[in-house]
């Protein structure tokens, strides 16, 4: 089969490799049908996040189940499913607590297409091996167009962890999003906050393309950091500049939450922890729990009208995926046509 690999910054190529096979009773093989380009892929492809040459790419996956192991019960061949970016067993202590990004049954951070531990390949491939089919796979709702829902496969799960749990604890929370490098995740965070009923949702970013989409989701726009004032209960940092994180600490209300969905990349922040201590700031930074996030993101789509496809998406054929992964578009999705099935 073919899979796509990162060669060097700006260059992704198809490579021929042996087909994966079922290696256990709980596994499934899935044929990716739509694969989206995560904001993290943009950082990999541009060389902003380290990735070894030859690493596989693609971790936002909707696919069709091809075959299953003997002990798979809920997953059926032919089913269209979301495949989470991270590998999770569903039964270890962390998975049972919803911490599916820290499953203890696999190497730490084992994922598709990120050059991380374990050997699970990437989503830009003809076949993907899913080691815990029933625990990992979520059916795509019947009659839904997979190309329109691909944003729910990964980036909306990331945005959901930044927004959903906080709004369920505090429905009247004021939300601010510092948009930027994690561009779609930041826009989705604003869109989810609006969909989930936050009374104030401010999206702060200078980029006119991103602010236009955030506005279409119903967020109020502030074009620059200096203009953004006020105390917010939830501040999402989707901008990788150090000053964005420092601004988040200025914007957050006493006892409020700052959630970084990206690390600082170009430079690192300096801040006075005495100020943060005095005001009481809950700062969360880290990878999301992808499988756990599918439930929240799907619920926001089905119950609250959150539409991931409002972000303009360059849809390309499967063959064009490697070149498209370097594109400057906000979002890219590779779609396998039915003739190639
Ligand atoms: Zn991702
Ligand atoms: Zn686990």
Flag whether pLDDT at 91 surpasses 90.
yes
pLDDT band for position 117 (cuts 50, 70, 90): confident
- Was domain 2-153+311-340 assigned CATH 3.10.129.10? no
Q: Cβ contacts of residue 49 below 8 Å, gap of 6+?
A: 40, 43, 265
pLDDT digits (tens, 9 = 90+) for 206-216: 999 999 999 99
List the one residue out of 290, 179, 187, 279 whose CA is nearest residue 233.
279
Q: Cβ contacts of residue 260 below 8 Å, gap of 6+?
A: 237, 245, 248, 283, 284, 285, 286
Average pLDDT, the chain: 95
Flag whether pLDDT at 172 surpasses 60.
yes
Flag whether pLDDT at 339 surpasses 80.
no
Give me the mean pLDDT over the 158-187 stretch: 97
Give me the mean pLDDT over the 300-311 stretch: 96
Which ligand does the CA of 91 lie closest to?
A: 2
In contact, 193 and 179? CB cutoff 8 Å: no
Task: Quote the pLDDT of residue 118.
Answer: 87
Report DSSP state, residue 125.
Answer: B
Distance 60 CA to ligand 1 centre (A): 6
State the Cα–Cα distance between residues 202 and 189, nearest whole angstrom.
10
Give me the mean pLDDT over the 37-62 stretch: 96
Flag whether pLDDT at 169 surpasses 70.
yes
Q: Is 333 helix (H, G, I), strand (E, B) or coil?
A: strand
Task: Quote the pLDDT of residue 341.
Answer: 53
Distance 102 CA to ligand 2 centre (A): 7
Distance 278 CA to ligand 1 centre (A): 34
Distance 273 CA to ligand 1 centre (A): 30
Distance 217 CA to ligand 1 centre (A): 21
State the Cα–Cα distance between residues 33 and 80, nearest whole angstrom.
9
Which ligand does the CA of 85 lie closest to?
A: 1
More confident residue, 16 or 340: 16
Distance of CA 2 to the CA centre of its chain: 24
Q: Where are the domains of the chain?
A: 2-153+311-340, 156-285
State the Cα–Cα distance between residues 11 and 47, nearest whole angstrom.
10
In contact, 309 and 160? CB cutoff 8 Å: no
Distance 37 CA to ligand 1 centre (A): 8
Flag whether pLDDT at 224 surpasses 80.
no
pLDDT digits (tens, 9 = 90+) for 235-271: 999 999 999 999 999 999 999 999 999 999 989 999 8
DSSP states of 135-173: HH-EEPPTT--HHHHGGGGTHHHHHHHHHHHHHHH-TT-
State the Cα–Cα distance between residues 177 and 234, nearest whole angstrom.
8
Domain 2-153+311-340 matches domain 156-285 at the CATH topology level: no
Which ligand does the CA of 101 lie closest to?
A: 2
Which ligand does the CA of 262 lie closest to?
A: 1
Distance 37 CA to ligand 2 centre (A): 26
Fold of 156-285: Rossmann fold (3.40.50)
Distance 318 CA to ligand 2 centre (A): 32
Distance 231 CA to ligand 1 centre (A): 29
pLDDT band for position 227 (cuts 50, 70, 90): low
Give me the mean pLDDT over the 50-68 stretch: 97
Which ligand does the CA of 132 lie closest to?
A: 2
Report DSSP state, residue 197.
Answer: T
Distance 40 CA to ligand 2 centre (A): 23
Q: Give percent above pLDDT 90 in the chain.
A: 92
Distance of CA 258 to the CA centre of its chain: 18
State the Cα–Cα distance between residues 203 and 328, nearest whole angstrom.
21
Which ligand does the CA of 331 lie closest to?
A: 1
Q: How far is CA 151 from CA 157, 160, 184, 297, 331, in A?
A: 9, 12, 9, 9, 9
pTM score of the predicted model: 0.96
Q: Is 10 helix (H, G, I), strand (E, B) or coil?
A: coil
């Amino acid at each position: 089969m073919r899979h796509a690999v990162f060669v060097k910054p700006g260059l992704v190529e198809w490579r021929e490799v042996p087909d994966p096979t079922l290696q256990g009773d709980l596994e499934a093989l899935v044929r990716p049908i739509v694969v989206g380009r995560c904001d993290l892929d943009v950082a990999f492809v541009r060389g902003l996040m380290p990735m070894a040459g030859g690493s596989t790419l693609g971790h936002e996956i909707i696919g069709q189940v091809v075959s299953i192991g003997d002990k798979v019960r809920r997953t059926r061949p032919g089913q269209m499913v979301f495949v989470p970016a991270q590998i999770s067993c569903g039964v270890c202590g962390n998975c049972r607590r919803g911490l599916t990004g820290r499953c203890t049954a696999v190497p730490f951070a084992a994922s598709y297409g990120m050059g991380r531990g374990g050997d699970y390949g990437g989503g830009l491939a003809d076949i993907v091996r899913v080691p815990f089919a029933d625990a990992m796979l979520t059916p795509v709702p019947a009659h839904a167009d997979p190309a329109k829902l691909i944003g729910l496969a990964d980036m909306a799960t990331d945005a959901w962890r930044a927004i959903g749990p906080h709004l369920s604890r505090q429905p009247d929370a004021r939300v601010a999003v510092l948009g930027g490098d994690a561009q779609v995740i930041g826009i989705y965070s604003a869109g989810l906050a609006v969909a989930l009923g936050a009374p104030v949702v401010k999206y702060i970013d200078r980029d006119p393309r991103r602010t236009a989409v955030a506005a279409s989701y119903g967020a109020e726009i502030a074009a620059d950091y200096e203009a953004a004032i006020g105390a917010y209960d939830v501040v999402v940092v989707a901008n990788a500049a150090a000053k964005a994180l420092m601004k988040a600490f200025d914007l957050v209300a006493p006892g409020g939450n700052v959630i970084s969905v990206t690390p600082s990349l170009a430079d690192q922040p300096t801040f006075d922890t005495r100020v943060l201590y005095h005001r009481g700031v809950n700062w969360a930074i880290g990878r999301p729990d992808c499988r756990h996030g599918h439930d929240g993101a799907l619920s926001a789509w089905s119950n609250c009208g959150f539409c991931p496809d409002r972000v303009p998406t360059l849809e390309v054929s499967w063959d064009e995926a490697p070149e498209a992964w370097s594109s400057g578009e906000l979002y890219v999705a590779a779609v396998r046509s039915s003739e190639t099935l």
